[in-house]
Amino acid sequence: MKKATTLIITLILCVQSVFAQKVQGIVFDLETKAPLWGASVSVKGSQKGNVTDAKGHFNLTVTKDAILTVRFVGYDPVEITADKASQIALKKSNFLQDEVVVRATRADENSAMAYSNVSAAELGKSNLGQDMPQLLNFTPSVVTTSDAGAGIGYTGIRIRGSDATRVNVTVNGIPINDSESQGTFWVNMPDFASSVNSVQIQRGVGTSTNGAGAFGGSVNMQTNTFEPMAYGEVNASGGSFGTLKTTIKAGSGLLGGKFTIDGRLSRIVSDGFIDRSSSNLLSAYFSAGYFGEKSFIRLNYFTGKEKTYQSWYGTPESRINGSVSEMQAYIDRNYLSAAEADNLLKSGRTYNYYTYDNQTDNYAQDHYQLMTNHRLSEVWNLDLNAHYTYGRGYYEEFKPSADLTNYGFSGLLVKSVDVIRRKWLDNDFYGSTFALNYTGSQQIKFTFGGAWNRYVGRHFGVLQDPYPGREWYRSRSQKTDLNLYAKANINLSAAWNAYVDLQYRTVGYRMNGTADKFLALDADNNYAFFNPKFGLTHQISEQAKVYASVSAGSKEPSRQDFVDNPGAAPRAEYLQDYELGYQRSGTKYAFQLNGYFMNYQDQLVLTGAVNSTGDAIRKNVDDSYRLGVEASLNYQISKRLLWNGNVTLSQNRIRHFKEEIVDYDTYDMPVIHHENTDIAYSPSLIAGNTLTYVVGAFEASLLSKYVGKQYLDNTSNEGRSLKAYTTQDIRLKYTLKKGPSFTLLLNNVLNELYSSNGYTYSYRYAGATTTENFYYPQAGFNFLLGASIRF
């Protein structure tokens, strides 16, 4: 019996030695023999991976025949079996890669913060015409919305409850956020996902970056990467609501051992789910690159032109509920005409207030980027980039029975008349970014970078009918943004790493002239911000690590904050962000748990109301915070079944909120005090789920999204809220060997009737308080079918 037991134990140990072994290796430069700190070592076909420490060391417990993939920016990747991985030499690439231009503004394994990376392959699985926010919908803490209800046209993204003005967006490290509104208008970049190689979403303050301050998160996009071989690609898709997308891509491959040329043309059209919410979107992308042994130069040009029928008014609550009596009350108190009343009563959930044939938004934007990287020595390299963006366009409106005094007329016999008008924006945005990187020490990696950017915007209004060509307002804005940052990863020991990131940013913002209704604009504001960030990472074992960080963020008000609050100038905002996280990965899983506390001073919060163009109105609150926990898990259930899930639980509060409601009986603004209320548009529970089954060339995925209740203003009033909703999508993909691939996307298969966004306003009249809620209904069950071929 004893011999049998000994034999069994010996067999078990032998089996374990066959199936698992501890690999201890070092990754180093082939020529200099210097260790490579921060190289990625991943197990092919597994969730498991590691990053080399400051001495190039890594540890992994893997099967003997496991294949390891080793990558490091600027070096050729290597695949090697585990039994030969004790010493891995990487060779410097003959060509500097595009990834170098974004590393200065991206987080890495030692940055002590929460982030998600999304590859081009992941984006491509659902890229059938919907905008970038929709493609990022299933990442942690993200909520998306669409004015037209189908993910095409005007779309938006919120991260941790923070709206688009708090989400910093860059392309190749160059700012994309509009300098004045500070938001990102994805409609101006149709089908941009087809030219993106990778996306990193940082949650919270994140690393120092260029452009608008990140208060909820940042979206850092890198465009197409080096393609050594010539290629061509055609993508076509279509589906519900008359949606059609056509994309043509081509690349020259490497010409003369030094040059590449890539291009894309795209067109997307859609009628939209909401009545008269059509989109006609055109875009192009062109890139020419020079790849040298020590220098990299790329010129990018991308442009977008959009014409969308306006659907930003929203749908009255009574129309959503379908109550005829409530709709009639809404008609009576808002003095709707017979035609407007008929439109409301007969339209259903797809109601659109606007009925004028050319109630459209028309805008074009051209981006030019010149990006360079120079290897100054073995340990120093420099990114030096320049950019220019030209934007121009207008939106056209029909205004019935308009008061002509609002257009500068006086002494006329006719005081009001139907008006067709256009509000124009013509702007230039230009500047430069740079980053000097040092990687020559086993103790420290260092980056010194920054940007200088200038924006000039011209706003003016022109009548079309009557009195065509009459200009009734004009203003000019100029904004200069300078930021400098220094970042360092410091190796404290084999298991401890510190991260330091110091940013100094100055903003000069001047505007003068008049806005609509002759509102005088005369502001000259200068801001100076210091934003330090500190992080600490401890590698507990080869599988697990913990991190903690504290960061400061700050940002200036937007132009619209000044326009919407003419009586009291808005104040700058400040944020302290505390993050604490735990990560663990194994052969079949990767798990991350992150807690955060974001404490705000003078946060500009959405009041729930909107202005005449549908933009949300904000005002400062003294003291507010966001407290939450984010968890995500990737788990390989079986060889064919993979589950990705994430959940965010949060508490988002304003400690003291002053609600102001206009009283039309007295024309006063009485103040109602609220204590410890929820921040608008900040659900306490967000969850995403992707279950994928793969067999051969066929892939099927179930994509689920849950978004908890959201309040439309900051009063925690149940009568001013968005109901929680759950959507279920199904994605089917089949790829023929060396041939086309076909994708079928079935959205909202359970036909959930929900609204993802809305707004509210209240007033007092005849001694009673009236609240008007408006919602943006999203499409029920709909589909998109696409085909793609690359040759």
Evaluate whether 605 touches 714 at the Cβ level (below 8 Å). yes
Between 225 and 756, where is the model more confident? 756
**Is pLDDT at 623 greater than 60 in this prediction?**
yes
- What are the start-end ranges of the H helices in 424-574? 559-564
**Relative orientation angle of helices 338-347 and 324-333, to the nearest 10 degrees:** 150
Residues 389-411 pLDDT 10s: 999 999 999 999 999 998 988 87
pLDDT of residue 97: 66
Confidence of residue 612 (pLDDT cuts 50, 70, 90): low
Dist. CA 779–CA 726, nearest whole Å: 13
pLDDT of residue 275: 97
Mean per-residue pLDDT, 188-201: 95
The Cα angle at residue 375 between residues 372 and 378, in degrees rounded to 5? 160
Dist. CA 59–CA 53, nearest whole Å: 10
**Is pLDDT at 3 greater than 60 in this prediction?**
no
Strands, E, within 111-166: which ranges?
115-119, 142-146, 155-159
Residues 631-664 pLDDT 10s: 999 999 998 999 999 999 999 999 999 888 888 8
- What domains does the chain contain, in order, with CATH numbers? 2-22+30-83 (2.60.40), 231-314+352-790 (2.40.170.20)
Distances (CA, A) of 703 to 138, 497, 512, 688: 8, 37, 49, 8
Average per-residue pLDDT for the chain: 91
**Is pLDDT at 202 greater than 50 in this prediction?**
yes
Dist. CA 304–CA 393, nearest whole Å: 12
pLDDT of residue 609: 65
Q: Which residues contact 549 (CB under 8 A, 6 or more apart)?
A: 111, 112, 113, 499, 533, 534, 535, 536, 577, 578, 579
Confidence of residue 4 (pLDDT cuts 50, 70, 90): very low
C-alpha dihedral over 437, 440, 445, 447, to 10 degrees? -10
Confidence of residue 224 (pLDDT cuts 50, 70, 90): confident
pLDDT of residue 205: 94
Rg (alpha carbons) of the chain, rounded to whole number: 28
Dist. CA 119–CA 71, nearest whole Å: 15
**Is pLDDT at 684 greater than 90 in this prediction?**
yes
Please name the residue that has the structure tokens 């663990």: 584
C-alpha dihedral over 122, 124, 129, 130, to 10 degrees? 10
pLDDT of residue 13: 39
Please name the residue that has the structure tokens 């689920």: 704
- The residues pairing with 677 across neighbouring beta strands, listed in sequence order, are 654
Mean per-residue pLDDT, 517-522: 86
Amino acid at 706: Y
Q: Which of 418, 395, 425, 419 has the alpha carbon at shortest distance from 312?
A: 395
Helix (H), strand (E) at residue 168: strand 167-171
Residues 692-750 pLDDT 10s: 999 999 999 999 999 999 999 999 999 999 999 999 999 999 999 878 999 999 999 99
- Mean pLDDT check: name the lowest of 17-26, 107-116, 210-219, 428-437: 17-26
Please name the residue that has the structure tokens 């500047």: 431
**Is pLDDT at 169 greater than 80 in this prediction?**
yes
Dist. CA 50–CA 769, nearest whole Å: 60
**Is pLDDT at 95 greater than 80 in this prediction?**
no
Confidence of residue 472 (pLDDT cuts 50, 70, 90): very high
Dist. CA 58–CA 22, nearest whole Å: 10
Evaluate whether 314 touches 609 at the Cβ level (below 8 Å). no
Dist. CA 402–CA 665, nearest whole Å: 24
Confidence of residue 20 (pLDDT cuts 50, 70, 90): low
Mean per-residue pLDDT, 227-252: 96
Evaluate whether 255 touches 227 at the Cβ level (below 8 Å). no
| DSSP 3-state percent helix, strand, coil across the chain (nearest 5) | 10, 60, 30
**Is pLDDT at 18 greater than 80 in this prediction?**
no
Confidence of residue 6 (pLDDT cuts 50, 70, 90): very low
Q: Which of 135, 141, 179 has the alpha carbon at shortest distance from 158?
A: 141
**Is pLDDT at 148 greater than 50 in this prediction?**
yes
At residue 17, the 3 state secondary structure works out as: helix
Evaluate whether 248 touches 325 at the Cβ level (below 8 Å). no
User: β-strand 496-515 against 519-539: which pairing, if any?
Assistant: antiparallel
Mean per-residue pLDDT, 446-465: 96
Amino acid at 562: F
Q: Cβ of 586: how many Cβ atoms within 10 Å?
A: 16
Q: Which of 282, 353, 357, 342 has the alpha carbon at shortest distance from 312?
A: 353
Dist. CA 526–CA 124, nearest whole Å: 43
Q: Which of 191, 194, 184 has the alpha carbon at shortest distance from 131?
A: 191
User: β-strand 444-465 against 471-491: which pairing, if any?
Assistant: antiparallel
At residue 212, the 3 state secondary structure works out as: coil
Residues 348-400 pLDDT 10s: 999 999 999 999 999 999 999 999 999 899 889 999 999 999 999 999 999 99
Evaluate whether 383 touches 434 at the Cβ level (below 8 Å). yes
Dist. CA 678–CA 353, nearest whole Å: 30
Confidence of residue 419 (pLDDT cuts 50, 70, 90): very high
pLDDT of residue 625: 97
| pTM of this structure | 0.91
